[in-house]
Amino acid sequence: MDNKMQFMKEAIKLSEHGMNQNDGGPFGCVIIKDGKVVGKGWNKVTGTNDPTAHAEVVAIRDACKNLNSFQLDGCELYTSCEPCPMCMGAIYWARPDKVFYANTRNDAAEIGFDDSMIYDELTLPLHARRITIEPLGRDEALTIFKAWITKTDKKEY
């Protein structure tokens, strides 16, 4: 068995572990750098009452802490299921080199984890979405953005 499949099996094992612990849904993830696990996680949504505690987000947080970096350059992410829209956003912000997934979003939908509403909502204009989204306080907030431009000791990312 090649290393990639070994890493995927570890992600799948974590999905089973989290499910058996009743921490959340059956999702697991590992992050690899230079052939070693640098981050791991499983879904902890119900165990922590945190709707953002998906396996990929938990693993990204773990890897970034362990690597002392807010980027995952040179890393590969192995997840037991195709990432949801939130996790895809987190993955793009973390910038790993590659993502591997096992189950598909359709497989997840078949067991009650259907993200199609979110995918659909993201394509709608703000005024047509289920959750009201409206601008407020832009003039005040822009002053902080202007201060960012001139800040000399910022760490860019």
Which residue numbers are catalytic? 56
Q: Are 31 and 22 in contact, with CB atoms under 8 Å apart?
A: no
> What is the spatial order of strands in the sheet that 98-103 belongs to?
36-42, 28-33, 75-81, 98-103
Q: Both tokens of residue 104?
A: 């598909």
Burial of 101 (0-12, 13-18, 19+ CB in 10 A): middle
